[in-house]
């Protein structure tokens, strides 16, 4: 029953949500409203509780066993608790805002900005015209890189239009192909979950 | 070891120093390179520009955390500034994930400070985070007051004058998702397809190619792609004579221009060195074989 019940719930809710989309009856609308406004949102809220539990279980185990880098686990747990308590105690007041604005924002911004340095270094070392495909990629990337900044327009008037053509014709054609594939894959996966063929969401194999 | 061989083994600290210099100098002394607005940006700007104080509100959704703040915050601020300048009622929604709410608050606090005549609750409101992601998007389509209950500050939605008569998407003229992830697709699937609300997108340059198909199909009203999109929006606002603030995106574009140039130069030199060294090695190999 432990394995059968989730499959029955997944099939039932999935099937009802699927057919209600095509039935504009007040009862169908009411069902949709209850599912969306109550069930979904409550389930999502519980997900955060489970995520926190999982986070603490993982890091407490690391600290207990004194695994490599366990000190960072301790810092992570203290930071989460500190942020959580500061939000609850100060009712998201100026202190909480300051923690976000002057600690989280600069820290995350710094981490992401390092990308510019590593991309430059990696481009210098690894971006080589070794064969036809690599040369095509290199030439296109160079045109897009120069055309997406004002200096491209400054160097040659036609550069932004050339970049716009690359984005709206070859790039978009490729993206459409990928998207159609992803869409069909999503439908197939949803059907497999509803029919109980795909059960990895229940854990285990 | 020849010059090119030594050059190919250049210590990366020199590349890092080069990038730091070309990024920092234009921030201190902007170059003032010309900005040419593109169609997706003009479309979004024109759509918002045709609205006014009597229009239904524009919902600006914050979909980014501090990691993409340099690229997306100028967009959000330009959009908010445009709406408040035109007197369009603004619903600032703190986003679908908890990390975004701080960014939304930062944006609305900074922009509203430049418009002392605009009153909270009458000209703009700030809605906080509600767990649910796609469920929240769907739920707004049913009833905003039931979905949120209170605004970010705990005031009941029903008591905010601006939101009286705003029940769901049918009372919203445009939703603009300022996003550093794939959330514009959620708005497209659950808000645009199901409820028919107009959607605009402001996204990172990396995400932009994924959304061009939806622009061409007319499912998105317009798009700001990357810092360039934000700079173009600032330029359009300046051309209309609207207040633009310090134009952070335009200043940032100078740094980005020089950084791109340096990266292209490094790629060209790296490839030149690679082929010269390879040709030299081949020649040496031929000489050895002849011996």
Q: What confidence tens digit (pLDDT) does each residue in A69-119 have?
A: 999 999 999 999 999 999 889 877 889 989 999 999 999 989 988 988 999
For residues B165 and B278, state if they share a domain.
no
Per-position b or e across A91-106, b if 16+ CB within 10 A of its CB: ebeeebbebbbeebbe
CATH number of the domain residue B175 falls in: 3.40.50
Chain B touched by A104 (CB under 8 Å): yes
| Dihedral over alpha carbons B35, B41, B43, B48 (to 10 degrees) | -100
B72/B164 same-domain check: yes
B205 within domain boundaries: yes
Q: How many residues does chain A have?
A: 205
CB neighbours of residue B123 within 10 Å:
20
The DSSP code sequence of B229-265 is HHHHHHHHHHHHT---TT-HHHHHHHHHHHHHHHHHH
pLDDT at residue B286 in the model: 59
**Residues B186, B271: one domain?**
no
Are B235 and B280 contained in the same domain?
Answer: no
Residues B92 and B214 in one domain: yes
Mutation target among B4, B30, B67 for the A interface, most CBs of A within 10 A: B67
A123 and B257 in contact by Cβ < 8 A?
no
**Are residues B23 and B150 located together in one domain of the fold?**
no
User: Domain for residue B233, yes or no?
Assistant: yes
Residue B116: both structure tokens together: 């002392």
Residue B264: which domain range?
A: 3-28+255-290
Q: How many domains does chain B have?
A: 2
Residues B184, B240, single domain; the answer is: yes
**Under an 8 A CB cutoff, do B264 and A44 touch?**
no
The answer to whether position B34 is within a domain reads: no
A164 near A158, Cβ under 8 Å? no
Can you give the pLDDT at residue B291?
47
**How near does any CA of chain A get to the CA of B267, in Å?**
5
**Are residue B264 and residue B208 in the same domain, yes or no?**
no
Q: Do A151 and B261 touch (CB under 8 A)?
A: yes
Whether residue B117 sits in one domain with residue B20: no
> What pLDDT does A203 receive?
75
Does residue A27 surpass a pLDDT of 90?
Answer: no
Mean pLDDT (10-residue bins), chain B, 291 residues: 86 95 93 89 97 96 94 96 97 92 94 96 94 89 93 94 94 97 93 94 93 93 95 96 90 92 94 91 68 47
Residue B139, in any domain of the structure: yes
The token pair at B137 is: 């998007």
Clarify whether residues B118 and B202 are in a common domain. yes
A172–B12: do the CB atoms touch at under 8 Å?
A: no
8 A C-beta contact, residue B175 and residue B199: yes
Residue A39 is predicted with a pLDDT of 86
Arithmetic mean of pLDDT, A113-127: 91
Whole-number pLDDT of residue B245: 85
Confidence of residue A198 (pLDDT cuts 50, 70, 90): confident
Residues of A in contact with B266 (CB under 8 A): 120, 123-124
Whole-prediction pTM: 0.89
Residue B250 maps to a domain: no
Sort out which chain A residues have CB atoms less than 8 A from B138's CB and list them: 36, 40
Do B96 and B153 reside in the same domain of the chain?
yes
pLDDT score at B34:
87
Please check whether residue B77 lies inside any domain of the structure.
yes
Quick one: pLDDT at residue B225? 93
User: With pLDDT > 70 as the criterion, what percentage of chain A qualifies?
Assistant: 99
Q: What is the pLDDT of residue A205?
A: 54
- B33 occurs within a structural domain: no
Tell me, yes or no, whether B122 lies in a domain. Answer: yes
- For the record, the structure tokens of B231 come out as 């700079």
Percent of chain B with pLDDT over 70: 98
Whether residues B234 and B165 fall in one domain: yes
Interface confidence, given as ipTM, is 0.83
Whether residues A106 and B66 touch (CB distance < 8 A) is answered with: yes
% of chain A with per-residue pLDDT over 90: 52
């Amino acid at each position: 029953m432990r394995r059968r019940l989730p499959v029955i719930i997944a099939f039932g809710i999935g099937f009802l949500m699927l057919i209600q989309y095509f039935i504009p009856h007040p009862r169908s609308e009411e069902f949709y409203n209850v599912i969306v406004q109550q069930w979904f949102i409550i389930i999502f809220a519980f997900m955060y509780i489970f995520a926190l539990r999982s986070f603490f279980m993982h890091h407490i185990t690391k600290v207990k066993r004194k695994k490599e880098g366990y000190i960072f686990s301790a810092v992570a747990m203290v930071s989460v608790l500190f942020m959580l308590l500061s939000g609850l105690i100060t009712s998201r007041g100026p202190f909480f805002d300051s923690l976000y604005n002057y600690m989280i924002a600069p820290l995350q911004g710094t981490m992401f900005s390092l990308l510019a340095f590593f991309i430059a270094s990696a481009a210098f070392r690894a971006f080589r015209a070794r064969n036809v495909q690599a040369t095509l990629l290199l030439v296109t990337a160079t045109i897009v890189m120069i055309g997406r900044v004002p200096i491209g327009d400054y160097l040659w008037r036609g550069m932004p239009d050339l970049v716009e053509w690359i984005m709206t014709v070859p790039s978009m054609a490729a993206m459409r192909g990928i998207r159609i594939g992803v869409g069909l894959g999503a439908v197939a996966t949803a059907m497999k979950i509803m029919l109980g063929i795909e059960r990895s969401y229940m854990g285990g194999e | 070891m020849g010059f090119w061989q030594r050059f190919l083994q250049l210590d990366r600290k020199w590349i890092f120093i080069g990038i730091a210099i070309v990024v920092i100098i234009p921030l201190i002394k902007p170059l003032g390179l010309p900005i040419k607005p593109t169609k997706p940006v003009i479309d979004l700007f024109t759509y918002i520009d045709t609205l006014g104080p009597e229009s239904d509100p524009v919902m600006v959704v914050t979909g980014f955390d501090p990691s993409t703040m340099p690229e997306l915050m100028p967009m959000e601020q330009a959009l908010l500034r445009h709406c408040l300048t035109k007197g369009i009622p603004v619903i600032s929604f703190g986003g679908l994930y908890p990390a975004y709410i701080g960014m939304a608050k930062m944006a609305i606090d900074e922009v509203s400070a430049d418009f002392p005549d605009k009153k909270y609750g009458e000209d703009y409101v700030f809605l906080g985070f509600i767990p649910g992601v796609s469920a929240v998007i769907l739920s707004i389509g049913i009833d905003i007051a039931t979905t949120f209950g209170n605004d970010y500050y705990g005031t009941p939605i029903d008591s905010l004058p601006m939101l009286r008569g705003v029940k769901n998407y049918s009372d919203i003229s445009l939703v603009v998702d300022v996003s550093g992830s794939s959330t514009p697709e959620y708005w497209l699937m659950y808000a645009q397809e199901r409820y028919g609300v107009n959607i605009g997108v402001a996204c990172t340059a990396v995400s932009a190619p994924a959304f061009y198909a939806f622009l061409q199909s007319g499912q998105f009203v317009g798009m700001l792609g990357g810092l360039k999109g934000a700079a173009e929006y600032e330029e359009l606002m300046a051309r209309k004579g609207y207040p633009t603030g310090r134009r952070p995106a335009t200043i940032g574009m100078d740094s980005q221009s020089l950084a791109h140039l340096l990266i292209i130069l490094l790629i060209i030199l790296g490839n030149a060195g690679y082929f010269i060294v390879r040709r030299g090695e081949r020649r040496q190999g031929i000489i050895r074989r002849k011996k």
